[in-house]
Amino acid sequence: MEAIKPPKSLTDQTYDILLDAICTGELSPGDRLNQDEIAGRLNVSRQPVNSAISILRANGLVEDTGRRGVVVAPIDAGLFRPILEFRRLVDPFAVELAVHRRPDDARQRAGAILDRGRAAARVNDVAALVQADVDFHEMIYAWSGNPVIEMSMRVNWHHIRRYMALVLRTPGASIPIWEEHASIVAALLSGDAERARCRMSAHLDVADQRMLAAL
């Protein structure tokens, strides 16, 4: 039984909506964020919109351009490469820890995410595919039992989502990704930490190549 979560503030809700729009490509690099227009569309005041944009700016997802105001930041390969290097260290370590610290209902929780990802892959729903992928890796981070891993990867995944959306727009591109995820889960649930680590490393090798090619 899960605890009841407090409702999100208007700023948090606005931030989540704008973040999703940027990460899925609904808002493209260079698109201007008009605070009044956004406030009207979301039926909120300017204050939560301005606060949300300030957080996006701090995370490098929007930028000020002078006369044009605030625009969606470009997808920067120079930023992406260091994130990949960091992720290649963190994710295999996280899955190795998760083998020993996974919850009792790990099979059911992993199965639900795998089913959701495969369903999204069949219809090439890019937004759902990106979210399922984020959920898969965040599940591994949570199971690692290491809060530093979760915190350090949270902001990085905002940028990874943007690159991932470029890859997943190609029909059929996501199907092998979910087979790789399934193989990672199988190794994790079998209790084989070394195999889980190796499968995660192999998955990242291929995923990084796909995203670098898209860039």
User: Domain coordinates of the chain in residue numbers?
Assistant: 10-72, 77-213
Burial class (CB in 10 A: 0-12, 13-18, 19+), 126: buried
**Domain 77-213 part of CATH 2.40.340.10:** no
Chain position carrying tokens 């029909």: 171
Q: Which CATH class is domain 10-72?
A: mainly alpha
Give the whole-number percent of the chain exceeding pLDDT 90: 60
CB 11 within 8 A of CB 17: no
Name the residue among 143, 149, 146, 210 with its Cα closest to residue 177.
210
**Domains 10-72 and 77-213 are alike in CATH topology:** no
Predicted local confidence at residue 1, as pLDDT: 44
Give the model confidence (pLDDT) of 104-117 as tens digits: 999 999 999 999 99
CB 131 within 8 A of CB 151: no
Q: How many CA atoms lie within 13 A of 206 on its CB side?
A: 13
User: Could you tell me which residues come within 8 angstroms of residue 181 by beta carbon, excluding any fewer than 6 positions away?
Assistant: 114, 117, 136, 203
**pTM metric for this prediction:** 0.82
- The rounded distance, in Å, linking the Cα atoms of 160 and 47 is 28
Q: What is the dihedral of CA 143, 150, 211, 33, to 10 degrees?
A: 140
Distance from the first to the final alpha carbon of the chain = 43
- φ, ψ for residue 174 (rounded to 5)? -85, -15
Higher pLDDT: 33 or 167? It is: 33
| Stretch 82-87: mean pLDDT | 90
CB 48 within 8 A of CB 10: yes
Task: Pick the range with the lowest mean pLDDT from 178-182, 202-206, 208-212.
Answer: 208-212
Give the model confidence (pLDDT) of 33-55 as tens digits: 999 999 999 999 999 999 999 99
